[in-house]
Structure 1
Amino acid sequence: SSLQNGTKVEDVLAELSIFRAERTTPVVLFTYLNPVLRYGLEDFLSDATECGASGLLLTDLPVGADCEVERTIAESPLDFIRLVAPTTRAERVPEIAENSSGFLYYISRAGVTGARSQLRESLGDEVAELRSQVGLPVVVGFGISTPEQAREVGCASDGVVIGSALVRIMEESGVEAGARFVARLRAALD
């Protein structure tokens, strides 16, 4: 894994800069708050923007947890993507949406990240309800691991996030296998 290999924030930003020099694909950085704070919040936001990041999702910073940090991020050029879970109370959704930009990331299920053989039957209805309440695109992730699941989620949402399945394939079979998997996902979504 990246952590086991000693990857640092600086390494990620350097790779991002190389990637963005050749592509216009928007990139959202998914991370925890602690590495950002250790790097220096304002330095991180500046460097991430300079390297070509489009947005930031801090998986462990819910709305209202640290108003000063949240305000600093919201004032940066980066979109501030926030999480909504199946367990999020309905009355909290408008506050989360108001404190988000770019899109909302809907967690497809409770639990930890990783591939699942099936999606929950209620997922499409949940996403439709969320989309009716907010003025932002809704992207769905967590546990999506096959092109068929990506197609199903893509029909109900504005986007699909697949992380763990891609990382697993690349770790087991290499970058080329990962590229083939992404091509299959893309074909399923088109």
Structure 2
Amino acid sequence: MKDRIEKRFAKVKAEGRAALVTFVMAGDPDPATSLEILKTLAKAGADVIEVGMPFSDPMADGPAIQAAGLRALHAGMTLHGVLKIVAEFRKQDADTPIILMGYYNPIYVYGVDRFLADAKAAGADGMIVVDLPPEEDEELCLPALKAGLSFIRLATPTTDDARLPAVLANTSGFVYYVSITGITGAGRPDYARVAFAVKRIKGHTDLPVAVGFGVKNAAAAREIAQNADGVVVGSALIDALARTLDAQGRGGSATVAAVGKLAGELAAGVASAAKERAIP
């Protein structure tokens, strides 16, 4: 039986396009608004939603996502609160895949077995944990797979052919290719290099390859979508959110609308690449 992630990538492939994968931070700027944002993303055309688990030391994240995490933590967001938001979203949306993304420390403190059981019960489909390399698969990756949750691994421009098999060994759901070196939201992808990298990775796996980091607008999403199975956008959506906040960091209906508007534009950009896609 196919899971939600597999079904969604099969659906977009049948439509001849890439998937739009969006990232937002759970609890940013507050839990209620965060839940409305998730609902709006799905309605605006997001095919897969990555939900950030806020952490006090987000080493791989750029300023936008760091700020989002701090806002969420200041709003009282906890790992339990993240799962509560996912569960509430799932009451109205049974189809959109939800990927939990973050760092291992909060999961370790929560308790791995308890977290996996609670994440599955909440309706999560997989996770991306950026600070656990393949050598640590027994810590979380293998237990996650056993619990029925996909474990999505990152590949980067520095992941060569010698390293790639280790990265892909227990990866499931899709492969997340980081298009630039450095932190999230920084730089601009080199589209020709991204196309080459996607082709190289697909030579090692049948999993879809989604590309993220540095995708800021519909035009960039369109370029990436010509060669990738998915386009991941996070910092740009969080920037759109942040621009609507008042002096006290509070959001509202304008916050939800701004994120939804950009998501719609990104979805249109991805869809517009369908006729030029290099992937059959």
Q: Work out whether 1:182 is the aligned partner of 2:274.
A: no
State the match for 1:36 in structure 2: 107
| Matching residue's letter, 2:84 | A
C-alpha distance in structure 1 between counterparts of 2:210 and 2:186, whole Å: 17
Query: For structure 2, which runs of at least 5 residues remain unmatched after alignment?
Result: 1-67, 245-254, 272-280
Residue 115 of structure 1: CA displacement? 4.9
Residues 44-59 of structure 1 aligned to structure 2 (within 5 Å): 44-59=115-130
Q: TM-score, normalised by structure 2?
A: 0.65
Greater CA drift, 172-181 or 68-77: 68-77
Question: 2: distance between equivalents of 1:52 and 1:110?
Answer: 32
**2:183 corresponds to which letter in structure 1?**
V
CA distance in 2, matches of 1:72, 1:142: 28
Structure 1 unaligned regions, length at least 5? none
Give the deviation of 1:128 after TM superposition. 1.3
1:71 maps to a residue whose letter is L
**SS of residue matched to 1:114:** coil
TM-score, normalization by structure 1 = 0.94
String of CA shifts for 1:54-98, please: whole Å, max 9, x gaps: 111101111113534332122111001011111112112122212
Q: How many residues align?
A: 189
Q: Distance in 2 between matches of 1:177 and 1:133?
A: 39
- The answer to whether the Cα contact below 8 Å between 1:139 and 1:161 also exists between their aligned partners in 2 is yes
Moved more, 119-128 or 150-159: 119-128
Alpha-carbon distance between aligned partners in 1 of 2:228 and 2:267, rounded to the nearest angstrom? 15
Question: Contact between 1:81 and 1:104, CA under 8 Å: does it hold in 2?
Answer: yes
CA RMSD in angstroms comes to 1.4
Identical pairs, percent: 37
Deviations 1:105-145 (A, max 9, x none): 111110000154x3214111111111122121111111111
CA distance in 1, matches of 2:121, 2:224: 32
Which residue type is aligned with residue 50 of structure 1? A
Q: Larger deviation: 66-75 or 32-41?
A: 66-75
User: Aligned with 1:133: secondary structure?
Assistant: coil
After TM superposition, give the deviation of residue 36 of structure 1 in Å: 0.7
